[in-house]
Structure 1
Amino acid sequence: MFKDHAKIIHAIFSAGEIVGRKKLQKIIFIAKKISFPFQEKFQFHFYGPYSEELTLRIEELCNMGYLDEVKEKKAGYWQYRYSVTESGKEFLGLHEISMPALDDCLMDMNQQSARFLELVSTVLYFDSLPPEEVAEKVFTLKSKQNYTLEEMADAYAYIDSLKQKGLLQQAAGRATV
């Protein structure tokens, strides 16, 4: 049980700070889909894949003092910033989690916009479908986002680059959780 909590803390620690609940959800979903060992279950929601389990786990970690959640007013809406507290770092020290490629992937994903990660996670959510059907789903379910075919191509290329980083870790056999 605490290993799953430690993985989330590790993810946020590796990213440095994650700004936005939606972005946090997408980062964990994408990491899970490219074969990193996150256990949270996701379903499709307004902004793409969403995990109530992850939301509850984040809330627990904040309540335990392992994560810091800062709520900021931003252009008419609330934005949340997540970072690891000193207690969270101590908790991480008690749990061996070594996923070097995940660290690289998380830092990379954290530099992307939440909008792009929403597209990438939506593409991954429907990854069992042919690309034409995925595009149809994206253009229908995400019509307000006005994604383009070029952005779809960018999403697929980005997914491939993340999978390559994940494969490098698996080949090295260094993932321990």
Structure 2
Amino acid sequence: MLKDHAKIIHAIAASEEIIGRKKLQKIVYIAKKLAFPFQERFQFHFYGPYSEELTLRVEELCNMGFLDEVKEKKGGYYQYRYTLTENGKEFLSLNEVSMPNLQECLTDMNNQNARFLELVSTVLYFDTLPKEEVKEKIFTLKSKQRYTDEEVETAYQYIANLREKAGH
């Protein structure tokens, strides 16, 4: 049961810290699409792929004292910062998770902004469709984000680079 929890702890440990719930959702989704063994199910939601299971797991990990969630007021909204606690580090040392190349991919993703990760995860969500249809979906479903053709191209290139890093 805690195997999937250990993977989430491992992802946050590999990233050192993740700032923002949306960013955490996108990072895990993108890693899953890169064939890393995350089990959470995702549906398409207002901000792109979203997993209720991931939200619940993170909440459980905070309640168990393995993750630290700090709520910070940022302008007109709140943002959440996730880091590993000492108990989380100990738990991870007892529950080895082997995901070669994950750290490099997560570090890279964690350096991107949430808006770009939302675009990347949306492209990956529709990855069975031809590029033109994917663009159409992005421009329709994400019209408020005002993504450009160049940003979509950058997202495709970024995905190719991540796949190379992941070794898949």
Gaps of 5+ in 1: 171-177
| Separation in structure 2 between the aligned mates of residue 55 and residue 153 of structure 1, nearest angstrom | 30
Shift of residue 95, structure 1, vs aligned partner: 1.0
Partner residue, 1:56: 56
Partner residue, 1:141: 141
Give aligned-pair identity as a percent: 74
Partner residue, 2:123: 123
Tell me the SS of whatever aligns to 2:101: helix
Using the size of structure 2 for normalisation, the TM-score is 0.99
For residues 64-120 of structure 1, what are the alpha-carbon distances to aligned partners after superposition, in whole Å with 9 as ceiling and x for unaligned?
000000001101001000000000000001111122310000000000000000000
Q: Structure 1: which amino acid aligns with 2:91?
A: F
Partner residue, 1:160: 160
| Separation in structure 2 between the aligned mates of residue 85 and residue 56 of structure 1, nearest angstrom | 18
| Separation in structure 2 between the aligned mates of residue 27 and residue 102 of structure 1, nearest angstrom | 11
Q: Structure 2: which amino acid aligns with 1:108?
A: D
Partner residue, 1:4: 4
| Separation in structure 1 between the aligned mates of residue 9 and residue 55 of structure 2, nearest angstrom | 13
| Separation in structure 2 between the aligned mates of residue 3 and residue 106 of structure 1, nearest angstrom | 19
Q: Structure 2: which amino acid aligns with 1:19?
A: I
Using the size of structure 1 for normalisation, the TM-score is 0.94
Tell me the SS of whatever aligns to 2:118: helix
| Separation in structure 1 between the aligned mates of residue 22 and residue 31 of structure 2, nearest angstrom | 14
Matches within 5 A, 1:46-85: 46-85=46-85
Gaps of 5+ in 2: none
Tell me which stretches of 4 or more aligned residues in structure 1 moved more than 2 Å. none
Partner residue, 2:109: 109
| Separation in structure 2 between the aligned mates of residue 79 and residue 166 of structure 1, nearest angstrom | 29
Partner residue, 2:90: 90
Aligned length: 168
RMSD: 0.7
For residues 106-149 of structure 1, what are the alpha-carbon distances to aligned partners after superposition, in whole Å with 9 as ceiling and x for unaligned?
00000000000000000000000000000000000000000000
